Structure formats: C-alpha cells, structure tokens
C-alpha cells in the first residue's frame, strides 16, 4: 500500500493545556519531576468527558497524548537540542518535527475539579490540544533496565555538575528586573539552565554568533547577548526579538509580548535586529 492509498485519519481535541509556558523556549526538553508547578487541562464541555474522568483520581501520574500544533512540517533527520551537534533519525528522538505531530508525556496528576485536571510539571505550552488521557501504570509502563541508545551519554553529562558559571552584567540585570517587575516576564532561569551546560553555537538551541566575540540566544520573543570567557558565561544585555516594523504593523497583534517589546524599546532603544 502506498501513501496515496492510505485513507486519512482524523482526531478531535478533548481539551487544551493551560500553563504559563507561552512559547517553546519556556518549556523544558523533557519534564523535570523535581519542579513544583501546577498546570491545568481544561476539557471541552458537552462531551461527557467528566464521566470519563471517573476513577482517574486514584492514579498519581497520567499519560497525555497531544498535538504539536505549532509544527506543520517534518524532517527525517533532526538536530536534537541536547548532546553533541549531530543529526539523528527522527524516530530516535522526541523532536516535534514528526510525520504526524503527536506528543506523548507523563505528568503528575494533582487533582481533578469538574472538567479540569490539575497536573504538575510538563513540557507542553499554553493552548496545546490534548487528544487523549490514559493512566500511567507502573506494572506496564515502567522498565528500569531499558536502554536509551545515544541518549545514555547525554544523560550522564546532564547528571554531572554544570560546566559553566553564569555572570549577569549590570545592564542585563536591570533589563531582566524591569521585565519581571513591569510585565511579569521571566525567562532567565530557563536561559541559565541551557547556557551553564553548553553555550556553544547551536541551531536548535537558537544560539548563533553575533558581533565580535558575542553570541546571542533566542529566548522566545527575546534575545540574550552574552560572551564566553573560559568557564564563565557573561550575560551582557537583553533585546527584543521583533523589529519595530512588525511590532507596529497591522495584523501582527499576536506577536508574543508585543506590548512589552514596544515599551522595552522606549526605555532601551532597539538595536538593529
């Protein structure tokens, strides 16, 4: 049977994730069960989903089957954000660039209130469509002796102490404090997690070379400029990620943090993007 002969499949979301992770940068590459956070899955009304939740509250963890709604293409080879910059087969990764953009995540189930499921740490962003929910079973889903292929070396590296120290220069500190105080925007902890491990230029981690010895990392709609000296990563300054011609253009009102970026430019005039 060829691809043209395969009948199309269809599915409908049963609900959506509500979380403060607004863009992909906010979400970890894998859920960190050490994090204390609370997210909400809102099931759609009028579908008897509340009845389908009966007896689920006795489980500590659940599987979420979800849709990578921000992706429209796939790649047979991808560059994972973790580990050495080497392309891997998509089926040997958890890349979102898949033939069918379906995600699978285990999350702690905190409680259920009507059509809402309160869950712990996750790697989903706000608005992610949820396709299905299943209970996590230790007798069927847990294999302590399972091998993880090329990721075993990566996990060993992540278990070791970070290789770099982070230094925040005065201008960057002032800008980060302003964003947090005035707009409740904070991406610095996620940025530190990545940079203290590996600040090298990497396409998937959105780190590229800037002017001179500087590098820049995209943090969702924001940019952090930094430099590396020995084992110290110095965060120099923050800039907005969109030029004024887009921020003020009609039809671009859905740009993440648009109003905050416009206000940011009035305090720190934008450098060329």
CATH number listed for the domain at residues 8-150:
2.40.30.70
Strand partners, 40: 18, 118
Mean pLDDT, residues 112-135 taken together: 95
What are the residue ranges spanned by the domains of the chain?
Answer: 8-150, 165-267
pLDDT per residue as tens digits for the range 188-213: 999 998 999 999 998 888 999 999 99
| Secondary structure class of 113 (helix, strand, coil) | strand
What does the pLDDT look like over 87-111, one tens digit per residue? 999 999 988 889 999 999 999 999 9
Q: Which residue bears the tokens 């770099």?
A: 164
218, β-bridge pairs = 223
**Mean pLDDT over the full length of the chain:** 90
Tokens standing for residue 202: 């990497």
Q: Give CA–CA dist 24/28, Å, rounded.
A: 8
| Alpha-carbon distances, residue 2 vs 5, 6, 11, 99, 229 (angstroms) | 5, 7, 22, 15, 54
Q: What is the mean pLDDT of residues 145-152?
A: 90
Q: Where are the alpha helices (DSSP H) in the chain?
A: 49-52, 138-141, 151-159, 170-183, 188-195, 244-247, 258-267
- Given the structure tokens 């509500």, which residue do they identify? 18
DSSP string for 223-248: EEEEEEETTEEEEEEEEESS-HHHHT
Q: Is the pLDDT of residue 250 over 80?
A: yes
Distance from CA of residue 242 to its chain's centroid? 20
Answer yes or no: is pLDDT of 32 > 70. no
What is the 8-class DSSP label of residue 95?
Answer: -
How many CB atoms sit inside 10 A of residue 137's CB? 11
Q: Would 8-150 and 165-267 be classified into the same CATH topology? A: no
- Alpha carbons 126 and 27: distance in angstroms, whole number: 10
Label residue 31 by pLDDT band (50, 70, 90). Answer: low
| Winning range, highest mean pLDDT, from 19-23, 86-90, 224-228 | 224-228
Q: What is the distance between the alpha carbons of residues 190 and 23, in angstroms, rounded to a whole number?
A: 12
Dist. CA 205–CA 194, nearest whole Å: 8
pLDDT given at position 3: 64
* 175 three-class SS: helix
How sure is the predictor about 30, in pLDDT bands with cuts at 50, 70 and 90? low
Which CATH superfamily is 165-267 part of?
A: RelE-like (3.30.2310.20)
In the predicted structure, residue 53 carries a pLDDT above the cut 80 = yes
Q: What does DSSP say about strands 232-240 and 165-168: parallel, antiparallel, or unpaired?
A: parallel
pTM equals 0.78
The structure tokens 């699978």 sit at 104
Banded pLDDT at 167 (limits 50, 70, 90): very high
């Amino acid at each position: 049977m060829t691809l043209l002969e395969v009948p199309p499949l269809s599915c409908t979301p049963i609900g959506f994730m509500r979380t403060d992770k607004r863009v992909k940068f906010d979400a970890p590459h894998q859920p960190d069960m050490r994090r204390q956070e609370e997210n909400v899955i809102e099931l759609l009304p009028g579908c008897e989903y509340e009845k389908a939740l009966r007896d689920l509250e006795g489980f500590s963890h659940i599987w979420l089957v979800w849709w990578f709604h921000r992706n429209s293409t796939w790649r047979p080879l991808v560059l994972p954000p973790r580990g050495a910059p080497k392309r891997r087969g998509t089926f040997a990764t958890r890349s979102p660039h898949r033939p069918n953009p379906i995600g699978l995540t285990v999350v702690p189930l905190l409680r259920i209130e009507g059509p809402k499921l309160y869950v712990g740490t996750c790697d989903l962003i706000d608005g992610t469509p949820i396709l299905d929910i299943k209970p996590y079973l230790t007798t069927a889903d847990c294999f302590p002796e399972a091998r993880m292929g090329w990721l075993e070396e990566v996990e060993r590296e992540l278990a070791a102490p970070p290789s770099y120290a982070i230094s925040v220069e005065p201008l960057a500190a002032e800008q980060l404090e302003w964003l947090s105080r005035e707009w409740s925007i904070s991406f610095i902890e996620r940025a530190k997690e990545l940079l203290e491990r590996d600040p090298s230029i990497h396409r998937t981690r959105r780190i590229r070379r800037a002017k001179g010895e500087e590098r820049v990392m995209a943090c969702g709609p924001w940019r952090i400029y930094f430099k590396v000296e020995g084992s110290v990563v110095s965060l120099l300054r923050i800039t907005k990620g969109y030029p004024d011609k887009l921020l003020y253009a009609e039809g671009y009102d859905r740009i993440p943090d648009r109003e905050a970026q416009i206000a940011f430019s009035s305090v720190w005039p934008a450098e060329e993007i």
